[in-house]
Chain A
Amino acid sequence: MNNQKKVISVKDLTKKFGSFTAVDHISFDVMEGEIFGFLGANGAGKTTAMRMLCGLSFPTSGSGTVAGFDITTDAEDIKRNIGYMSQKFSLYSDLTVIQNLRLFSTIYGMSDKEFKSASENLFKELEMEDMRNTLVGEIPVGWRQKLAFATATIHNPKVVFLDEPTGGVDPVTRRRFWELIYQASSKGMTIFVTTHYLDEAEYCNRVSIMVDGKISALDNPTALKEKYHATTMDEVFRIVAKQAKREE
């Protein structure tokens, strides 16, 4: 993995809200094409860290690059090269499937022609051809999640940030969702994903566990399990998260 290109590289990244340090000097690298799991209890600072990487929030100190651009100075360039799916289901529910896709494809600068071929492929891949003119609010949650992922990746970004993408979804749908993630990864997209479900951590190439704003563990799942003498990632997480002092 060492000869691969770094897509995300972060050094001493810190975010303070007043006297509260949400993210405390974290450093890590993510390689091209990797599925990087970003774990942590509620309030550990995952979302804050992710928002800094996406250019939604300015770091208090520290530095980092995403897709080769500096997160403090080139936020606009980063935004052109990433996709983002937030923890809440976030598409416009009073717009139809195709209206949502068209809106975001335009925002990412796709022409009508590009959109046409891209959306045809998407609908086939997602088996959503007969839903294109349905209001997003009226389609089942599992499908919406898939659609949100499709929206986040429609412009073929270098990195996709997924903030708890499978929250509140049944296991079967989660499984299918991860198939989509693998598919995107095999196309060369780097996936940066936060999750609550520790079985999902097993699907990642590498996993980091955040505790109290710091990264307490970072390695591939097998190595982590060995290190903590655990059989599942769930156990690993329990052992690491026990160090937490911060209240939720």
Chain B
Amino acid sequence: MRLCAVDLACHRGGRDIFTGLNFAVASGEVLAVTGRNGAGKSSLLRTIVGLIRVGRGKLTLEGGDPELTIAEQAHYLGHQDALKPSLSVAENLRFWAGFLGSEPADIAAALVTVGLDGLADLPSAYLSAGQRRRLSIARLVAVKRPIWLLDEPTSSLDDAAQNRLMALLRSHVAEGGMVVAATHGPIGLGGPKELRLDDMALPSSATAAAEPAVP
């Protein structure tokens, strides 16, 4: 499976967020999208899942399920955690597992993976920011999807939780999944491909060449 972008551009509010973007990620690879604030990291992820319309260029998935769109084969972990404070930890996860997945999910196992077992019956309102983030990540474990699109996945996670996330990403990649992660710091995975979005937002560099696609 290979996710390719050719000459991809994104326009928001009459402004080019990025243009002329080329990259490719294959199964078993991690692409780290880096760049300063406002460089368009989040917009790129949202473009891939179809929440923002592709301005120009092409976005294709080779070797995926032809019946499904890219978004339907991808997990998107945005800035917000998509949790309801009045529902319990398990209820939140069970909802997303039921909504996103077609087969019954192992809620308890997913909670163990993110280290939230024992809090299953707790209302999510009581969780700290880091715990909410982990509950949000549990969704990726509960429902199997090959493509993970992560927007600042380590935000509000402590060291232990970051290590656990890295282990999770490694095992996902090892099982043939792919990860595209927007991050401003080092992602901590050994030698991932990097896509730098810096300078892309400047109008004068609209034709600037992006990181060349790695075949």
Q: Do A and B come together as binding partners?
A: no
A→B interface (CB under 8 Å): none
